[in-house]
């Protein structure tokens, strides 16, 4: 058992080292800073600027979080502070089903509903033309994907707040909403932060759904109605093709390494926070 | 009752126009009160009148419904799933069981709670005391400072914590935390204080301090205490309610119930036949 556990840990390490080795050739021609800050993506001319992809990922994840965080907090507050037992009994399995849906289904849903909605209804109010395959579409689809995860984490965190604290607050004349806001959420702040970090790392790595709705143009998006090209989509779209080009594989491996390192750091951070939380 | 400090600094949590009305009659009365959780009857046909400015101790074996009765007084029992109630509990003519919204909030403000285990809110010592005032709309540093100082002094905590008011309340000792909880309830000017085995988690010395505080506070407040410790009830109770299996068996002045119990169940309980 110990061996198996150790082996699975080792696997992560091996993957990290593997990615580094595979992406190493690109560092012979380009510096790390140059790769991350350049905007031009022309593999045929040996120009590999990752900035558009990094920005695409940041935008899409950011929008997803902005949309999903307040909503999931409210849902979790409703479920833990207001709802009766039978509501919870129905809601929790529904959340689990939502969380377990394959992401391609979210992608299809996004391209069938969200993309036309943005292009026909929403975007005309703000810009002249938008195909609908945009940063916003990616953000909305991703937010729906991380919502169940956030809600179930928040519900779990809020349930650890002792009932006595709620009683103490309500006994002073606080309403349930005041109690939720000033006691439950306040006490859960480190946990909320950790949950957000987990959800962000999930959003960062999401591939299929964003690939289907983001437009996949290697440009730095200037508004939420521009197309973008998140890193996971870049890898999934191009790996296996055009590998005859010099350094192309290394460039994609470097993209994978960026994701790997960021997600690893995020996860570590959230673990550390959760560990401290439990200890205190 | 309006405490001196509020008069001195010229404000009150209570709206001035309703002030006299609310305080004209502040009796807590229970009439034919039944309570079920699911299909299980927990309290049966309880009728009581809680005397003012006295310490009323509710005694009885574990699971007899003492805490449930206490939680019915300020309707914290609402958070239990499947609870049903019948009968009436009135505070100064206002029916607690049929109160909602703003009425319920006002009732809860008038009935303070000291919990079984000290539970400081996740904020500073200062924040804990000011919490109740803030949710009732009192703002202003000077006013809140005065309230915090007054009530911390009232529970004998001011000198111990005045240097670290901004530190998290969780850092206090258990005994100090319980006194903080008491001060927190007092800061919204209740008329009644409910204490659910408020000293059971404390060491003997802290327990003694809290007990003495209750005795001192009864001059201004009516205190209802649930206690497991007969000796404690004997020490501080003025009035005693003995509950067994959800029913009130005997009530009366402490001296009478403890020394000349009328009912056989009371006698057995007091002599330790069951606990």
CB-CB neighbors (< 8 A) of A163 in chain B: 79
Query: Minimal CA–CA distance to A172: which of B179, B162, B114?
Result: B114
Cα atoms found within 13 Å of the Cα of residue B178, Cβ hemisphere only: 23
pLDDT tens-digit map of A262-276: 989 988 888 888 788
Tell me: the pLDDT tens digits for A227-239?
A: 999 999 998 888 8
pLDDT tens, A25-69?
888 888 888 888 888 888 888 888 899 999 999 999 999 999 999
By the 10 Å C-beta count (0-12 exposed, 13-18 middle, 19+ buried), A106 is classed as: buried
Are B137 and A175 in contact, with CB atoms under 8 Å apart?
no
Give the sign of the dihedral formed by CA A80, CA A85, CA A91, CA A95: positive
- Residues A217-234 have a mean pLDDT of 90
Lowest mean pLDDT among A43-52, A98-107, B164-173, B240-249: A43-52
Q: How far is CA A56 from CA A59, A135, A147, A238, in A?
A: 5, 7, 20, 16
Q: What pLDDT, on a 0 to 100 scale, did the predictor assign at position B2?
A: 41
SS3 B50: strand
Nearest CB to B113 within list A171, A178, A186? A171
Average pLDDT over every residue of A127-148 = 92
pLDDT, position B6: 55
Is B4-270 in CATH node 1.10.3720.10? no
Inform me whether the pLDDT recorded for A182 exceeds 80.
yes
Contact criterion met (CB below 8 Å) for A59 and A221 = yes
Q: How far is B9 from chain A (nearest CA, A)?
A: 21
* CA gap B56, B221 in Å, rounded: 11
Report d(CA A229, CA A56) in Å as an integer: 5
Tokens of A11: 């696997």
pLDDT at position A29 is 81
Give the minimum alpha-carbon distance from A150 to chain B in angstroms, rounded to a whole number. 23
Count of A-B CB contacts under 8 Å: 67
- Subunit contact B76:A172, Cβ cutoff 8 A: no
Find out whether B130 and B148 touch, Cβ atoms under 8 Å.
yes
Residues A195/A148, Cβ–Cβ less than 8 Å: no
Residue bearing tokens 């969780």: B170
Beta B83-91 vs B94-95: how paired, if at all? antiparallel
The pTM score is 0.84
Mean pLDDT over B188-200 rounds to 91
Under DSSP, the state recorded for B218 is T
Tokens of B72: 């019915």
- Taking CB atoms and an 8 Å cutoff, what residues of chain A touch B108? 170-173
What confidence category does residue B138 fall into, taking pLDDT thresholds of 50, 70 and 90? confident
CA distance A215 to A159: 40
A-chain CB neighbours of B118 within 8 Å are none
Is the domain A52-279 a CATH 1.10.3720.10 member? yes
For A:67-86, CB contacts with B below 8 A are 84-85
In chain A, positions 150-169, which contact chain B (CB-CB < 8 Å)? 162-169
- Cα(A264)–Cα(A12) distance, integer angstroms: 10
Q: A145: Cβ–Cβ under 8 A, 6 or more apart, which residues?
A: A64, A103, A106, A202, A203, A206, A209
Instruction: Please state which of the ranges A129-138, A231-240, A252-261 shows the lowest mean pLDDT.
Output: A231-240
> Could you tell me if the ipTM is greater than 0.90?
no
Which of helix, strand or coil describes residue B92? coil
B115/A contact by beta carbon, under 8 A: yes
Asked whether the predicted pLDDT for residue B22 surpasses 70, the reply is: no
Which residues make beta-bridge pairs with B188?
Answer: none
Query: For a pLDDT cut of 70, what percent of chain B falls above it?
Result: 90
In the 3-class helix/strand/coil scheme, how is chain A assigned residue by residue?
A: CHHHHHHHHHHHHHHHHHHHHHHHHHHHHCCHHHHHHCCCEEHHHCEECCHHHHHHHHHHHHHHHHHHHHHHHHHHHHHHHHCCHHHHHHHHHHHHHHHHCCHHHHHHHHHHHHHHHHHHHHHHHCCCCCCCCCHHHHHHHHHHHHHHHHHHHHHHHHHCCCHHHHHHHHHCCCCHHHHHHHHHHHHHHHHHHHHHHHHHHHHHHCCHHHHHHCECCCCCCCCCCCCECCHHHHHHHHCCCCCCCCCHHHHHHHHHHHHHHHHHHHHHHHHHHHHHHHHC
Using the beta-carbon criterion (under 8 Å), do B135 and A172 form an inter-chain contact? yes
> Mean pLDDT throughout A76-100?
90
Q: How is residue B162 annotated by DSSP?
A: G
Asked if A168 lies within 8 A of B123 by C-beta distance, the reply is: no
Question: Any idea where the domains of chain A sit in the sequence?
Answer: 52-279
- The residue among B80, B135, B184 with the most chain A CBs within 10 A of its CB, best to mutate, is B135
Q: How many residues does chain A have?
A: 280
Q: Closest Cα of chain B to A124: distance in Å?
A: 45
Collect all residues with Cβ–Cβ distance below 8 Å to B127 and sequence separation of at least 6: B121, B169
What's the CA gap between B270 and B273, in Å, rounded? Answer: 8
Residues of B in contact with A183 (CB under 8 A): 121-122
Measured distance CA(A115)–CA(A138) in Å, rounded: 9
**Does B117 sit within 8 Å of A172, measured CB to CB?**
no
Four-residue CA torsion sign, A117, A219, A145, A65: negative
Q: Report the share of chain A in percent with pLDDT over 90.
A: 50
Q: Record the tokens describing residue B112, joined without a space.
A: 């303070």
Domain boundaries, chain B: 4-270
Is B272's pLDDT higher than 90?
A: no
Q: Which of residues 187-216 of A touch B (CB under 8 A)?
A: 187
Q: Tell me how far apart the alpha carbons of residues B153 and B4 are, in angstroms, rounded to a whole number.
A: 13
Check residue A242 and give its pLDDT.
65
Does the beta carbon of B188 lie under 8 angstroms from any beta carbon of chain A?
Answer: yes
Tokens of B80: 């239990």
| Length, in residues, of chain B | 275
Q: Report residue A51: phi and psi, to 5°.
A: -55, -45
| DSSP conformation class of B120 | -
Q: A16 versus B19: which is more confidently predicted?
A: A16
Q: State CA B120 to chain mean position distance.
A: 16
Do B81 and A85 count as a contact with CB atoms less than 8 A apart?
A: yes
Nearest to B219 by CA among B52, B16, B33, B93: B52
CB contact under 8 A, B113 and A168: yes
| B201 DSSP 8-state letter | T
Residue of B132, B133, B190, B193 to mutate when probing chain A, most A C-beta within 10 A: B132
| Mean pLDDT of all residues in B202-216 | 90
Residues of A with Cβ-Cβ distance to B74 under 8 angstroms: 171
Average pLDDT of the residues in B162-183: 92
pLDDT at A184: 96
**pLDDT tier at B60 (50, 70, 90 boundaries)?**
very high
pLDDT confidence of residue A275: 81
Nearest CA to B57 among B267, B180, B234? Answer: B234
């Amino acid at each position: 058992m110990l061996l198996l556990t150790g082996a699975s840990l080792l696997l992560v390490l091996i993957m990290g080292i593997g990615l580094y080795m595979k992406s190493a050739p690109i560092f012979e021609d380009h510096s790390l800073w140059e790769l991350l800050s350049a905007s031009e993506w022309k593999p045929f001319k040996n120009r590999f600027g990752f900035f558009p992809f990094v920005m695409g990922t940041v935008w899409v994840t950011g929008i997803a979080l902005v949309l999903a965080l307040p909503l999931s907090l409210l849902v979790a507050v409703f479920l833990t502070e207001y709802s009766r037992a039978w509501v919870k009994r129905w809601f929790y399995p529904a959340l689990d089903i939502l969380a377990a849906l394959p992401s391609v289904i979210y992608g299809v849903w996004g391209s069938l509903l969200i993309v036309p909605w943005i292009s026909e209804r929403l975007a005309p109010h703000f810009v002249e033309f938008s195909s609908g395959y945009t940063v916003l579409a990616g953000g909305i689809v991703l937010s729906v994907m991380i919502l169940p995860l956030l809600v179930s984490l928040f519900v779990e965190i809020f349930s650890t707040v002792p009932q006595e604290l709620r009683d103490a607050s309500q006994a002073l004349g606080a309403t349930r909403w005041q109690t939720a806001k000033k006691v439950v959420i306040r006490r859960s702040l480190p946990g909320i932060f950790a949950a957000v970090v987990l959800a962000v790392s999930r959003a960062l790595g999401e591939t299929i759904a964003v690939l289907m709705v983001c437009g996949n143009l290697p440009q730095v998006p200037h508004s939420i109605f521009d197309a973008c090209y998140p890193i996971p989509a870049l890898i999934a779209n191009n790996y296996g093709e055009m590998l005859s080009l010099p350094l192309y594989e290394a460039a994609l491996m470097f993209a994978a390494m960026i994701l790997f390192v960021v997600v690893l750091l995020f996860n570590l951070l959230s673990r550390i926070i959760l560990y401290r939380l439990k200890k205190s | 009752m309006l405490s001196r400090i509020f008069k001195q600094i010229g404000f009150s949590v209570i709206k001035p126009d309703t002030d006299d009305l609310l305080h004209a009659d502040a009796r807590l009365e229970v009439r034919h009160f039944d309570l079920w959780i699911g299909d299980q009857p927990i309290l049966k046909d309880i009728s009581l009148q809680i005397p003012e400015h006295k310490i009323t101790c509710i005694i009885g074996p574990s699971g007899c419904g003492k805490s449930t009765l206490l939680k019915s007084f300020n309707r914290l029992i609402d958070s239990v799933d499947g609870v049903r109630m019948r009968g009436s509990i009135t505070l100064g003519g206002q029916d607690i069981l049929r109160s909602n919204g703003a009425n319920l909030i006002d009732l809860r403000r008038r009935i303070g709670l000291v919990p079984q285990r000290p539970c400081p809110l996740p904020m500073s010592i200062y924040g804990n005391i000011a919490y109740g005032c803030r949710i009732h709309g009192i703002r202003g540093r000077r006013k809140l400072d005065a309230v915090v100082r007054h009530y911390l002094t009232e529970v004998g905590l001011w000198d111990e914590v005045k240097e670290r008011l901004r530190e998290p309340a969780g850092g206090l000792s258990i005994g100090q935390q319980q006194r903080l909880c008491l001060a927190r309830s007092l800061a919204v000017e209740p008329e009644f204080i409910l204490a659910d085995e408020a000293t059971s988690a404390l060491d003997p010395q802290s327990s003694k301090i809290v007990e003495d505080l209750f005795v001192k506070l009864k001059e201004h407040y009516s205190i209802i205490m649930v206690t497991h410790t007969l000796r404690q009830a004997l020490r501080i109770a003025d009035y005693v309610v003995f509950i067994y299996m959800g029913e009130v068996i005997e009530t009366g002045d402490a001296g009478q119930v403890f020394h000349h119990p009328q009912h056989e169940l009371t006698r057995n309980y007091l002599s330790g036949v069951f606990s």
